[in-house]
């Protein structure tokens, strides 16, 4: 892998290409040079020998045409003498052949004089004499293995061929020279390539160094580092590219900072939104969900990513993703259980490009459980008020109609009818007063009138008042501290709270039962408890006894004259004092109503 990576380097590629170009150029030049040099040397060699052969032919023509006397040397002797002077280092042998008899008249080889007088069997000699043309070729000497040049040239006297000269020359020297020249050229090529490679490396570095810097900067940018800058080495194209790249880096850094800022703003907005937000891709898969949405749906943000939104919202059976894209109104998602109501409202907004292409969907979730609860309570409140008013009014109308029809004359019936009418009137007055009290407490300008009160003495006085006016056979048990406990309360409002709670305890206590009163001190508060031994409250109803108009046993409550607002008023008053109110109960054993009030024990010394 390292080797492959090495050859992928632009620096190496540049050097290799540069060296290969030089090598190809030198090879082309070398081939042309060697070929031309070889041709020139061979031509010069052959031209030189040809000129000498022409001179030799001229001398031989004179000898062959000369008039000879018996005293003169023979033609063969004269030719032998001429050939002896013609010998040279690069000539192996020269023969003179008579044109008419094809006999060898002489040879320059002293060791081969036996061929003189014999007929020549050389094909080229025959072709020369027949065609009257020069014949030449380069052959390989079978004895030495060297290259030789064979020339057969006609000897002419005027236009008549009278003989031929057969020449064998050592042309191997020419090729040896070429071999030496090729070696010198190859050595020069190697030296030139080495120098070229070094220069190529230096030249490549001047080009690839800025490119390498650009590469490092690009890698750093992919990792989010925009602080580096590319060094500018010159004002050429690469320098301009480096400056442009630095400007691009700066703009990308600014764009990333802006994008990151917007992303953080969006993340902050999504994090601090009380509404849940879910975003999907164009296929309806969840790509973003904020923390409120995850809490509303009771899911983990990591596990719901890429999950279809219709399955996340529990709409798989009723809706498809395409239905949500076309949904104009909000959807109500009811996740309520038997014990706990839980309702969400989902509003959908489609993310679209200008071309109309759908990129995804945004769903905004609102928890409307309390709102629905308030709406339900409002409807129940109106229904309860209507019912509570209609019952006594119907009773009163019936009795008044009976009185109007003459029942007032009956001395036994009339007083009973009037008593019932008075009782129902008082019941309506109590109901209206309780409603007015709740209305005042619900208003924004509701104010308490707190004073420092010894709650133990205050509680005793309330209990005494009930103990003196009670009609049932019920005993009171007081478990109150002997030391004073000073708390800051609105005495009139707390009187109403205790009155409502104690009245309920007496109403539901059986004959011979017991009502227990207690006060406990805790850090930062006191707890006041009033318990009875009545029928108790079922476990599933105990959390609702402080709701307006709620009654566990409606028939008995109306019979006893209750309005169903007493504990609701008590809750509002206690909450206004900064405390809390709750109930515990066991069916058949009784109920305990407790409330807390803020208490600072350090104030004790001042009041004592």
Distance CA 337, CA 379 (A): 21
SS3 call for 521: strand
Stated as kind and residue range, the H or E segment containing 351 is: strand 343-352
Q: What is the pLDDT of residue 369?
A: 83
Stretches in the chain below the pLDDT threshold 70: 1-11, 271, 377, 380-385, 387-389, 391, 430-431, 434-435, 437-447, 548-564, 602-608
Nearest-10 crossing angle of helices 413-442, 369-404: 160
* CB contact burial 359-391 (16+ within 10 A = b; e otherwise): ebbebbbbbbbeebeeeebeeebeebbeebeee
- Asked if residue 125 lies in contact with residue 97, where contact means CB atoms within 8 angstroms, the answer is yes
Distance of CA 116 to the CA centre of its chain: 103
Per DSSP, the three-state class of 68 is coil
The reported pLDDT for the residue numbered 381 is 67
The whole-number pLDDT of residue 561 equals 47
What pLDDT does residue 551 have? 62
pTM over 0.85: no
- Helices 237-272, 172-222: inter-axial angle, 10-degree rounding: 30
């Amino acid at each position: 892998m390292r080797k492959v990576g090495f050859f992928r380097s632009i620096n190496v590629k540049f050097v290799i290409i540069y060296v290969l170009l030089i090598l190809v150029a030198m090879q082309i030049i070398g081939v042309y040079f060697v070929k031309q040099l070889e041709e020139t040397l061979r031509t010069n060699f052959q031209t030189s020998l040809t000129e000498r052969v022409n001179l030799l032919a001229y001398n031989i023509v004179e000898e062959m045409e000369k008039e000879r006397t018996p005293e003169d040397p023979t033609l063969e002797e004269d030719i032998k003498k001429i050939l002896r002077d013609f010998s040279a280092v690069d000539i192996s042998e020269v023969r003179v052949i008579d044109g008419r008899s094809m006999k060898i008249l002489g040879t320059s080889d002293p060791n081969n004089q036996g061929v003189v007088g014999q007929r020549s069997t050389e094909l080229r000699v025959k072709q020369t004499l027949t065609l009257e043309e020069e014949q030449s070729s380069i052959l390989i000497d079978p004895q030495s293995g060297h290259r030789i040049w064979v020339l057969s040239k006609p000897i002419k006297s005027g236009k008549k061929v009278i003989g031929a000269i057969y020449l064998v020359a050592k042309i191997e020297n020419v090729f040896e020279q070429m071999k030496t020249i090729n070696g010198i050229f190859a050595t020069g090529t190697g030296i030139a390539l080495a120098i070229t490679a070094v220069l190529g490396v230096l030249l490549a570095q001047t080009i690839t160094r800025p490119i390498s810097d650009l590469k490092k900067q690009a890698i750093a940018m992919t990792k989010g580092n925009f602080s580096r800058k590319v060094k500018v080495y010159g004002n050429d194209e690469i320098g301009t590219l480096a400056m442009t790249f630095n400007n691009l880096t700066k703009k990308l850094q600014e764009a990333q900072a802006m994008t990151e800022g917007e992303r953080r703003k969006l993340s902050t907005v999504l994090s601090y939104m009380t509404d849940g937000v879910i975003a999907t891709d164009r296929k309806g898969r969840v790509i973003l969900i904020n923390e409120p949405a995850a809490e509303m749906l009771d899911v983990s943000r990591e596990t719901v990513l890429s999950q279809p939104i219709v399955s996340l919202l529990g709409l798989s059976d009723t809706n498809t993703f395409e239905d949500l894209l076309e949904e104009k109104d909000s959807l109500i998602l009811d996740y309520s259980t038997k014990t706990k109501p839980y309702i969400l409202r989902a509003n959908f907004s489609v993310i679209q490009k200008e071309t109309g292409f759908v990129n995804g969907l945004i769903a905004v979730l609102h928890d409307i459980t309390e709102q629905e609860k308030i709406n339900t309570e409002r409807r129940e409140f109106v229904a309860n008020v209507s019912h509570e008013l209609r019952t006594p009014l119907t009773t009163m109308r019936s009795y008044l109609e009976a009185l109007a029809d003459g029942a007032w004359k009956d001395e036994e019936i009339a007083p009973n009818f009037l008593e019932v009418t008075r009782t129902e009137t008082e019941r309506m007055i109590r109901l209206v007063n309780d409603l007015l009290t709740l209305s005042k407490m619900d208003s924004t300008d509701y104010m308490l009138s707190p004073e420092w009160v010894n709650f133990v003495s205050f509680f005793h006085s309330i209990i005494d008042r009930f103990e003196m006016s009670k009609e049932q056979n019920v005993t009171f048990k007081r478990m109150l501290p002997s030391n004073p406990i000073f708390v800051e309360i609105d005495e009139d409002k707390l009187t109403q709270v205790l009155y409502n709670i104690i009245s309920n305890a007496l109403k539901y206590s059986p004959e011979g039962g017991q009502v227990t009163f207690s006060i406990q001190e805790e850090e930062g508060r006191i707890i006041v408890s009033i318990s009875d031994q009545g029928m108790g409250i079922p476990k599933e109803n105990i959390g609702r006894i402080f709701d307006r108009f709620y009654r566990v046993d409606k028939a008995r409550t109306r019979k006893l004259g209750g309005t169903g607002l007493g504990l609701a008023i008590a809750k509002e008053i206690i909450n206004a004092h900064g405390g809390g109110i709750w109930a515990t109960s066991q069916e058949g054993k009784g109920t305990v109503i407790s409330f807390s009030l803020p208490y600072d024990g350090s104030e004790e010394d001042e009041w004592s």
